[in-house]
A and B are shown apart, each in its own frame.
Chain A
Amino acid sequence: MRKTLLALCFVLPAGMVAAQSPEDAVKARQGYFDLLGAQMAVLAPMAQGKMDFDAAKAKVAADNLAALAKVDVSPLFVPGTSTDDLGDATRALPAIWEKGDDFMAKATAMHEAAAAMPEAAGSLETLQVAVGQLGGSCKGCHDNFRAK
């Protein structure tokens, strides 16, 4: 929960300040994805048997993911902050803005998979399936919207 609050403190103000610099928007959204990754870094090794299943730890990370998925980060995807504009500073491809509907669909897939995490975190079997789906939703978006 602490991590969730931290995430909210970090992401929400950044999202609300509309007139921020492009560099700040990039940093804020990268921070958001890092936070998602930090939760996955707890759950994936458990799901893959590289770490013992710990229901309490799993629950915290799963709750954090569900909370993060509720955060609307679309204000951070400011026009003019793609790889075309900022080069190596970002991996967000112009396709995000060109194919906004498809991008939103991929984001929604992630939100739904993340929302299912808290319930799935109760047992290893359900966690494995849910981590697979959530990780798959990461790839689903990376394929077309994140630079290689």
Chain B
Amino acid sequence: MRDTTSPKTRVIKVWDPVVRSFHWLLVLAFAGAWGLGEWGPNQMTWHFYFGYVIAGLVGVRLIWGFVGTRNARFTSFLFGPGKVVAYLRHLPSRDPSHWIGHNPMGGWSVFLMLALLIAQVATGMMSDPKDYINVGPLAQYVPSDISDLSVKLHHILSTLLLIVVGMHIAAILFYRRWKGENLVTPMITGKKVIEED
């Protein structure tokens, strides 16, 4: 790609410790909740615990989205359709984006994932699968058609989340392989190397 002049680079802090801890704890908790939900023991106590951990993580992230560091704030990655389209035009080019923070496309995927996670937790808490032991703590406070529906939605959402997370990981791989941009290291160390222009 770039061969003649080696451009000046600069190291920038992109992700604060809250965002990074949130992310990797979420990865672990999501794998745990999903695996236990699908293949875990019939007594789902641990599935519930993992679900509550995710609820807590997402809760912290929501607050951090308003009071956190710049790139963590929702307003910093909430882009209108114009910006998104403009960004998508450049997407196929084989150059790193050098974007600082979530880009317009990635920003929407973050909102989507957070929304799905909230819905997943909410439907889980309202589920009454009629086995008398794996009953969500909120099921008793909602009408029974809602607690029935929650079981169905929880199941559908779990598949949807798996697909969306798969696309999330595919997108990260695409940046790595196609655009030659490593997004994972910044999510681990907090630091990103970008080109000076």
CA separation between A37 and B144, bound complex, in Å? 15
Interface flags for A110-148 (1: CB within 8 Å of B; 0: not) read 000000000000000000000111011111101000001
CA separation between A37 and B195, bound complex, in Å? 65
24 example contacts (A-B, Cβ-Cβ < 8 A) are as follows A37-B130, A37-B132, A41-B132, A44-B133, A131-B132, A133-B43, A135-B43, A135-B131, A135-B132, A135-B134, A136-B41, A136-B42, A136-B43, A136-B131, A136-B133, A138-B130, A138-B131, A138-B132, A139-B44, A139-B133, A140-B42, A142-B131, A148-B151, A148-B152
* A68 interface residue per 8 A CB criterion: no
CA separation between A125 and B62, bound complex, in Å? 40
Binding site for A on B (CB under 8 A): 41-44, 129-134, 151-152, 155
* A28 interface residue per 8 A CB criterion: no
CA separation between A40 and B134, bound complex, in Å? 13
Kindly count the residue-residue contacts between A and B in the assembled complex, taking CB atoms under 8 Å apart.
41
CA separation between A37 and B155, bound complex, in Å? 22
Q: Nearest Cβ in chain A — how far from B43, in angstroms?
A: 5
Interface of B is mostly: loop
Q: Nearest Cβ in chain A — how far from B10, in angstroms?
A: 52
Interface size class on chain A is: 10 to 19
CA separation between A41 and B130, bound complex, in Å? 10
Please, which residues of chain B bring their CB within 8 A of the CB of A142?
Answer: 129-131
Q: Nearest Cβ in chain B — how far from A87, in angstroms?
A: 16
